[in-house]
Structure 1
Amino acid sequence: MATIRVPYEHLPPAARAAIEATTGPVLSTESPDEGFNSAVAAKLHTATGTYFAKALPVDHRWVWTQQREADIAHYVRSVAPALIGHTVTSGWNILIFEALPGRRADYQPGSADLPNVADLIRRIGDLPTPQIELRDATQRLAAYVTCEDDLRHFAGDTLLHTDWNHSNVIIGDDIRIVDWAWATRGAPWLDAAYWTIWLIAAGHTPESAEHNAATIPAWQSASIAGLNAFAAANARLWTENGGACPDQWTTHITAAAQDWYEFRMRQATEA
């Protein structure tokens, strides 16, 4: 479920003072209309520049993601915004990033952004995997496979972002990706596979989505069995995430995951 969004102005005065000790006085704010993993997510305009703040209450079940982003920021500087500050005060865990100029990536069929996103996935896969605490792909997907042996397909030591929502990918002078909360280690082809689901959600057929994913060299290391197992696991994962009353956003991505799974099952039957 999404986290309830809190306006920046509703943070305790001491928390805002801690942020503005780094950014300078905040003149105006903007909150994104997508991405609700953070209680506070706001672009902060100041006299000296623009920043992006993310915050969660210290007792929130996902507060560990704040520390994960702080820990990994140094290692992903070439593909992500710079971390300016991290503080815990007044019951809030707060991250301050540089605000990336640019726009969200366009994943629609025919978009000129698609080759650049594919190259970004390749670049991330080429980064050294930092020796910090990371989620493991086999652990993350263990609850969604019907055969424990399928987990071997997801094992590996490649650094993965895993959340390829188009709103996380910023196109400016360069292309970079935000929100490293769910950084994971696993098989090198998994980020391309995660992207496939978001491409289908953006209007691609499963065939078109896989065609784009196949431009990423790591995709070639995936076995048919591995792709089938991953598609099946994600169809189950998104169905569970949606629960009995999914919101519109979750319904959309759940349908995309299900479409890909059904496509792969048809391919297996026809082979």
Structure 2
Amino acid sequence: MATTRIGLDQLPPAARAAIEKHTGPLLTVKETTEGFNSEIAARITSTTGTWHIKGLRTDHPRAWTQHREAAVAPFLTGLAPTLDWHVETAGWDLLGFEALNGHHADYAPGSPDLPEVAALLSRLGETPCPNIELRHAEQRLERYATRPDDLRHFAGAHLLHTDLNHTNILINDRAPHSNRVRLVDWAWATRGAAWLDAGYWVIWLIAAGHTPASAEHWATEIPSWHTAPAEGITAFAAANANIWSEISTSDPAPWTSRLAAASEAWHTHRMSR
């Protein structure tokens, strides 16, 4: 379920003051609408810089996502925006990231962004998993796997993002071509098999209009995908069909229905092979 968004002006004065200790007096605040997990999400500027700020109340049920993002951020150089500051005060947990310019990735068939996303996920697959507390993929998928034995396919020691919504990929058209794509929102960072992020991408590609075969073709551009056993991919497709069926039933919305249909189409494709 989406979290209710509030304006930065509704923060307690002490929380606002804590932010300005890092930024100086704010000149502009532009609230952002993307994302579902934050109560506070805005692009802020001062005379010293520009940041993207996101925050939750410290008693929010998903406050742990703030700590997860803060813990993983130092290990994501070249993959994600830099975390410049983290404050927790006056009942609020607030993260200040470097502000990125650019557009959200277009996942549609034929999009010029697709090779760049594949390259980003390839770089992520080469990134060592930090020794921090992370949930394990087999734990997250345990309730949804068709058979308990399927879970062995999802286990591994690699760092995963797991939320490949196109709004979480930012492409800076003004940056050097080899270093202009960033993956944001690491709240669901996970430890697991290296190929799983390519699998999560497949579902979003199908939701954007690809056939399951076309989506899997793009996954083959990511080296880790080739380490996945066929039965593991099928098990992963089945588990995600169950996940999105549950999500779309409890939170019926056009986007959840689209993901449920996409994941079911992939599962059907895998079962017909």
TM surpasses 0.5:
yes
Q: Does 1:36 align with 2:36?
A: yes
Given the alignment of the two structures, is residue 121 of structure 1 paired with residue 127 of structure 2, yes or no?
no
Aligned twin of 1:23: 23
Q: Which amino acid aligns with 2:6?
A: V
**Any residues of structure 2 matched to 1:124-139 within 5 Å, and which?**
124-139=124-139
Identity over aligned pairs, percent: 56
The within-5 A match list for 1:210-225 is: 210-225=216-231
Rounded Cα–Cα distance in structure 2 between residues aligned with 1:120 and 1:8:
32
Per-residue deviation, residues 174-197 of structure 1 (Å, max 9, x unmatched): 111111111111111101000011
1:122-271 matches, within 5 Å, as 122-172=122-172, 173=175, 174-267=180-273
The 5 Å alignment of 1:59-78 reads: 59-78=59-78
Shift of 1:169: 0.7
Output one character per residue of 1:88-145: Cα deviation in whole Å (capped at 9) or x when no partner.
1111111111111111111111111111110110101101110000110000000101
CA distance, structure 2, for counterparts of residue 17 and residue 103 of structure 1? 31
| Deviation larger for 7-16 or 56-65 | 7-16
> Gaps spanning 5+ residues in structure 1: where?
none
| Stretches (4+) displaced over 6 A | none
- Deviation per CA, 1:220-250: give whole Å up to 9, x if none: 1111111111011011111112234512222
Name the SS for the 1:246 alignment partner.
Answer: coil
Question: What is the distance in 2 between the residues matched to 1:11 and 1:254?
Answer: 36
Distance 1:32 1:260 in 2: 32
Can you list the C-alpha shifts for 1:48-69, whole angstroms capped at 9, x where unaligned?
2210111011111111111111
Q: Counterpart in 1 of 2:105?
A: 105
Q: Which whole-Å CA distance do the structure 2 matches of 1:91 and 1:209 have between them?
A: 43
Q: d(CA) in 1 for partners of 2:217 and 2:146?
A: 27
- 1:31 deviates by 2.6
Partner Cα separation in structure 1 for residue 267 and residue 7 of structure 2 = 38
The CA RMSD measured in Å over matched residues stands at 1.2
Distance 1:236 1:209 in 2: 19
1:5 aligns with 2:2: no
Aligned equivalents of 1:29 and 1:197: distance in 2? 34
Offset of residue 47 of structure 1: 2.4
**Secondary structure of residue in 1 paired with 2:141:** helix
* Inter-partner Cα distance in structure 1 for 2:236 and 2:257: 19
The TM-score, its normalising length taken from structure 2, stands at 0.95
CA distance in 2, matches of 1:234, 1:162: 12
Give secondary structure in 2 for the equivalent of 1:3: coil
TM, length-normalised to structure 1: 0.95
